[in-house]
Structure 1
C-alpha cells in the first residue's frame, strides 16, 4: 500500500527520466501527489504524453538521453517550464541489453546499454547539477541495480553499466557534499516492471531465486525509497546507495 505524504514536495520541482513507464512513472506520480511540479523525459513520445496525463506532470520532453546536446537543451527547457529551478533529478532511464554470455555479447547491444544506462545518466547529471548549485539545493537519485553490486550472469553490459552508476554517484556525491546537493543511488533487486519484457523468463526466474523474500519487488516499494531520497529528510547521507532488494544485497 502506498502512503502519500501530503505536501512533502510542496514548492519543489523535479525532472524524472525514463518517466513514461515503470519506476520513473510511479515516482513521478507520487512526487506530483505530494506537491511537486514534475517534468518527464522519455524517448517514447506517445507513451510520454499518456504518462503525463496519468501522473499529472506539467512538462514533457521526448529525447534520447544518449544525445548530450539534446539533454542539455531539455534541461534548459524544463528549467524554464518549472519556474526557473530544478530541485530534484531522478535518473531512471535504462535498458537491460542482451542476455547472453560475454563471449557472445553483440557489440551493438553492449555499446547501446552502456550509452543509455551510464553515459546518458552522466549527461543528465552534468546538465542539471549547475542548475541546482545556482540555488544551493538539490537531490539527485540515480537508479542503479543490485546487478551493479553483485553482477548477474549473462547480463554483463547491464551489470557493468549499473556498477558505473554506483561509482559515478559516489564521486559526484563527494564533489557536491557541503554545497546543498545530495546525490545517492538506488540498488533494487528485480521488481515488476515493463523492463522485464526485455528479458527471457529464465533470467527473471534466476533473479527471483536470488531474493531471500522469495518474490519480486513491487514498483511502489522502490518509488517510496526514491521519494525519501529526493526529500529534504535525506540530509546527511550522500554518495551512497539505498537497497530495495528483499534481502539479496549484503553490502
Structure 2
C-alpha cells in the first residue's frame, strides 16, 4: 500500500483550527513537512508552532482560498520552503452557513460560502494538481461534508458548495485514474470544531448543532486519521460516521421518501422565520 501520507511534503488549507489543524498535526506526526495555511495567519502560526514544539517541521502561511492569486502565492511559498513541489494537498478551508430557507438567504451569503467552500477547492486543485499529474504520485484530499448529499433544509448554500466539492473530486479521480495520484473526498456529519459559530450561521441553529456535535460528534483528530489512512489505501470516499453512512444509503435507495423525511425534520431546525412566526 502506498504510504502517501507518510513523510509527505504537504499543504493544508484552513490549518488554523479544527479538522485542518488535525490534518497538519497528524501529517507532521507521520514525519511529514507541512505548510499550514489559513486566512488568519496568527492561527496558522499557532498550528505550525505547535508542530515545531513537538519536533516536527512546519511553516505558516496566510491565504484566502477564495482568491486564486492567494492560492498561487501559497504554492510559491510552499515550493520555496519545501524545496520541491508538494506531493500531498489537503483542500480543507471552509465556512459554515445555515439557518435560512432559499429566498431568505442573502445572496452575499451564497457568494461567500461558494467562494470559500467551492472555489477554494477549485483553486487548490487548479494550482496544485498539474504538478501531481506530472509526478504521477501523491494525493489530493478535498474536505466536503455529508451536507453535499444529505440536502438538509435551511442549508442550501452550504449544501451546494459541498455537493460541488464531491462532484469535483469524483471528476478529478476519473481524470487521474492510472497516474498514481489518489483523490479522496471527506464527507463527515458533525465534527467537534468551531464551524458552527461562524457569522453565516444563524445563532439558534448553530447553538443546536454545537450541542449535538459535542454529544455525538467525532473529534477532528479521529476524522483526520481516518481520512489520511483512506488516502493511503487509494479510497475515493470517506464517510466516517454511522449517521453519515445511513444518510448516504437512504438518499440513494429511496430518494423521494428521503426528501420528504428531510422536509419534516427541517421544520424542527430553529431559524429566523421561526422567530418571526
User: TM-score normalised by the shorter chain: which range applies?
Assistant: 0.7 to 0.9
Aligned match of 2:46: 50
Distance (whole Å) between structure 2 residues aligned to residue 152 and residue 206 of structure 1 = 13
1:209-228 equivalence runs, <5 A: 215-228=216-229
How far off is 1:208 after superposition?
Answer: 7.5
Distance (whole Å) between structure 1 residues aligned to residue 83 and residue 98 of structure 2 = 40
Aligned match of 2:31: 35
Distance (whole Å) between structure 1 residues aligned to residue 116 and residue 218 of structure 2 = 23
Unaligned runs of 5+ in 1: 1-6
1:1-251 equivalence runs, <5 A: 9-56=5-52, 57-198=57-198, 199=201, 200-203=203-206, 205=208, 215-231=216-232, 234-235=233-234, 237=235, 240-250=236-246, 251=248
Q: Is the 1:221–1:244 Cα contact (8 Å) retained in structure 2?
A: no
Q: Is the 1:139–1:229 Cα contact (8 Å) retained in structure 2?
A: no
Q: Is the 2:148–2:160 Cα contact (8 Å) retained in structure 1?
A: yes
Call closer, same or farther: CA 1:32–1:55 in 2, change over 3 Å.
same
- For normalisation by structure 2, the TM-score amounts to 0.79
Call closer, same or farther: CA 1:208–1:186 in 2, change over 3 Å.
farther
How far off is 1:98 after superposition?
Answer: 4.2
Task: Tell me how large the CA RMSD over aligned residues is.
Answer: 2.1
Q: Is the 2:148–2:166 Cα contact (8 Å) retained in structure 1?
A: yes
Give the structure with the higher percent helix: 2
How far off is 1:133 after superposition?
Answer: 2.1
Q: State the SS of the aligned residue for 1:244.
A: coil
- How many residue pairs get aligned? The number is 237
Which range moved further: 161-170 or 135-144?
135-144
Q: Is the 1:187–1:245 Cα contact (8 Å) retained in structure 2?
A: no
Which range moved further: 65-74 or 109-118?
65-74
Q: Is the 1:8–1:35 Cα contact (8 Å) retained in structure 2?
A: no
Call closer, same or farther: CA 1:204–1:222 in 2, change over 3 Å.
farther
Call closer, same or farther: CA 1:10–1:220 in 2, change over 3 Å.
closer
Q: State the SS of the aligned residue for 1:35.
A: coil
Superposed CA offset, 1:40-66 (max 9, x none): 111001111111111335222201111
The structure number with the bigger radius of gyration is 2
How far off is 1:99 after superposition?
Answer: 2.2
How far off is 1:137 after superposition?
Answer: 0.6
Distance (whole Å) between structure 2 residues aligned to residue 165 and residue 94 of structure 1 = 11
- For normalisation by structure 1, the TM-score amounts to 0.87
